Amino acid sequence: MRCSAFIALIAIVAIGCTAPVGSAGPSVIGTPFPSPSPEAPSNSGRLSAEPSTPAPSTPTSPSPSAPLDLARVAVEEHDVRVEVELQRNPLPAGEPSWVKVRVTNEGQSNLTWFHDGCAEPVFVHGVSAVAWSMGEEHEGQAARFKTSALGGHIAAAPDSHGVLSFVVKERLHMGSVGCADIGISETIEPGESVRSTRWWSGFTDPHRALPAAGPATIRGFAAYYRRGKESTDLADHVIELELDAWIISDAAAARLSPAQAVDAALSDPTFAAYVETQAIANGRAEITWYDADRDLWEIGVMPWYETEPPRIHGVLVDAVTGGILGSLDRPWDQDVDPFP
């Protein structure tokens, strides 16, 4: 059921967010990726004087035009009224946009409303309908790295569609975050409402990439609730909404997709050799993050237990040409970086 899957997803993310970064863990496997020279800052990659040969990139094409009649508000009304309102539609990539939600009790008795540790009255997320290029096929260790770096795992291939996450404004720079796997209830009296505002960063999760221009779907998931003291199954009390949206993203067409950025990184012999030494997805996180300020990709491996804080070892990839700009060796910053 969709409800069970939603709970399972929250539980998985929540467990990940409480990973004991500093605790003892598996023994170190493989050798460290070459560190920058002593004069290079520890929190930035070392840029080479001459980038390597660029990887092939997708030709730039004009962005499709958005429909003129896109709605900004979706409403579902029974004895409970649920509203999801976008700040704007189309949504410009690379720019923050808010979504406001409201749940109103229009019945004659108290409504008990449940949510998780993020206290979201309505969970909202979006999915781009335009698929990214998934690039080249690899074998062996390189294939395992690419799958994991793009969010896939042993039982599932990576998703080729960008996800739009809506979070509290304080976490806007980080993208999607986890919530405590707990049920919190609150009472909504007749005629009263609960409200919330969340923000989309303008980039996709988990890679912080620019989404492709074109259609997207915004979904609202309002659950779980019961009226008065009724004892019916909470899983039966769910309200879902959808909005047809559009993403404006002129810059995305000129930049590598996450998969193409990983391909470019694996073309670097030193990085490819380092990947061969690593136990992929075993005490390690595989990183594929776009840095919009520098217009480059960070591609690497972060062993959780080699250092405190953990360090990301890898390469910097030019987001337009695919050229290798230099090595990446910096600490993971849990106050700035996404949770891998």
d(CA 83, CA 76): 7
pLDDT number for residue 150? 96
Query: Over 50: is that where the pLDDT of 20 sits?
Result: no
Q: Which residues pair with 238 in a beta bridge?
A: 223
Query: Over 60: is that where the pLDDT of 107 sits?
Result: yes
Q: What percent of the chain has pLDDT over 70?
A: 76
How many Å separate Cα 281 from the centre of its chain? Answer: 18
pLDDT number for residue 1? 39
**Reported confidence tier of residue 96, pLDDT bands at 50, 70, 90:** very high
Query: Over 80: is that where the pLDDT of 68 sits?
Result: yes
Query: Over 50: is that where the pLDDT of 160 sits?
Result: yes
The mean pLDDT of 21-26, rounded to a whole number, is: 31
HSE value, Cβ hemisphere, 13 Å, CA-based, for 95: 12
Q: Which residue has the higher pLDDT, 116 or 163?
A: 163
Phi, psi of 80 (to 5 degrees): -125, 130
Query: Over 50: is that where the pLDDT of 9 sits?
Result: no
Structure confidence by residue, pLDDT tens digits, 27-48: 223 334 444 333 333 333 333 3
**Reported confidence tier of residue 183, pLDDT bands at 50, 70, 90:** confident
| Lowest-pLDDT choice from 137-146, 230-239, 247-256 | 230-239
Q: Which of 97, 127, 103 is nearest to 115 (CA)?
A: 103
Average pLDDT, the chain: 81
Extents of the domains making up the chain: 27-59+254-331, 73-251
d(CA 83, CA 50): 53
The mean pLDDT of 72-80, rounded to a whole number, is: 91
d(CA 55, CA 58): 10
d(CA 102, CA 222): 10
Q: What percent of the chain has pLDDT over 90?
A: 57
Contact 46, 325 (CB under 8 A): no
CATH of domain 73-251: 2.60.40.2360
For residue 8, CA distances in Å to 2, 18, 21, 158, 307 come to 10, 16, 23, 19, 31
Farthest-apart Cα atoms in the chain, separation: 71
Q: Which of 204, 219, 217, 248 is nearest to 66 (CA)?
A: 248
Q: Which residue has the higher pLDDT, 337 or 183?
A: 337
Query: Over 70: is that where the pLDDT of 226 sits?
Result: yes
Query: Over 50: is that where the pLDDT of 4 sits?
Result: no
Query: Over 50: is that where the pLDDT of 285 sits?
Result: yes
Contact 212, 253 (CB under 8 A): yes
Specify whether the backbone of 135 is left (phi greater than 0), alpha (psi in -120 to 50) or beta. Answer: left
**Reported confidence tier of residue 335, pLDDT bands at 50, 70, 90:** confident
Host H or E run for residue 199: strand 193-200
Structure confidence by residue, pLDDT tens digits, 192-222: 999 999 999 999 998 999 999 999 999 999 8
The mean pLDDT of 161-190, rounded to a whole number, is: 81
Helix axes 258-266, 269-276, angle to 10 degrees: 90
Q: Which residues pair with 199 in a beta bridge?
A: 98, 167
HSE value, Cβ hemisphere, 13 Å, CA-based, for 68: 0
Structure confidence by residue, pLDDT tens digits, 123-159: 999 999 999 999 999 999 999 999 999 999 888 899 9
Host H or E run for residue 272: helix 269-276
Query: Over 70: is that where the pLDDT of 16 sits?
Result: no
Query: HEC states along 78-145?
Result: CCEEEEEEECCCCEECCCCEEEEEEEEECCCCCEEEEECCCCCCCEEEEEECCCCCCCCCCCHHHHHH
pTM (predicted TM-score):
0.78
